[in-house]
Amino acid sequence: MPRFQPKNPDFRRAATAVFDAQPAMHTLRISIARLDAGEVELAMPYSAAFAQQNGFVHAGIITAGLDNACGIAAYTLMAPGAAILTVEFKTNLLAPAKGERFLFRAEVIKPGRTLTFCEARAFAFDGAKESLVATMTGTLMALTPRAQRAEKEATDSALA
């Protein structure tokens, strides 16, 4: 039984479209491994181009995966046509991001009309070893089409 009742019956296609529209995800070779209402897993292979000084994946790149997992998980529960933005997140780095591949697992803890709260964890797979490398808690915001118009008008008028 699903924990959440999505407002958008077509949530899989909508969330996938938001994910696919992000060049950063392609560049980082992050892909959707699993997608359900309020739950997402993203996968990423190791890439030396995104390492820090010890050859492990940079904390910012791990954060990009965690943030996107939270965003897509939140987006599955938003109304059709909503835009999404990240308000804030906190990342705790628990172990070096050392491995051949990585998994970012996010779930919605509290959905809301405006704000959605998510939690996510990053795992590294190093041979047979799996380890928890980082956690995230984050707040995501839904912008309805009306709010997007109001925002755009405010911006246009501010620029005029």
Please give the residue ranges that form the binding site for a copy of itself (CB under 8 A).
Answer: 18, 21-24, 26-27, 48-53, 58-61, 63-68, 85-96, 109-110, 114-115, 117, 119, 132, 135, 137, 139, 141
Spatial separation of the C-alpha atoms in residues 90 and 95, rounded to whole Å: 16
Q: How far is the CB of 123 from a copy of itself (least distance, A)?
A: 13
Closer CB to a copy of itself, 66 or 73, in the complex: 66
Minimum distance, C-beta of residue 160 to a copy of itself, in the bound complex (Å):
14
Q: With 0-12 CB in 10 A as exposed, 13-18 as middle and 19+ as buried, what is 116? A: buried
Nearest CB to a copy of itself, comparing residues 1 and 85 = 85
Helix (H, G, I), strand (E, B) or coil at 16: helix
Residue 34 or 152 having the CB closest to a copy of itself: 152
Asked whether 68 and 84 are in contact (CB, 8 A), the reply is no
**Minimal distance in Å, beta carbon 158 to a copy of itself?**
10
> Among 82, 76, 86, 14, which residue's Cα sits nearest to residue 39?
76
- Our CB check for a copy of itself shows the closer of 7 and 58 to be 58
Do 124 and 65 form a contact (C-beta atoms < 8 A)? no
Q: What does the chain come to in residues?
A: 160
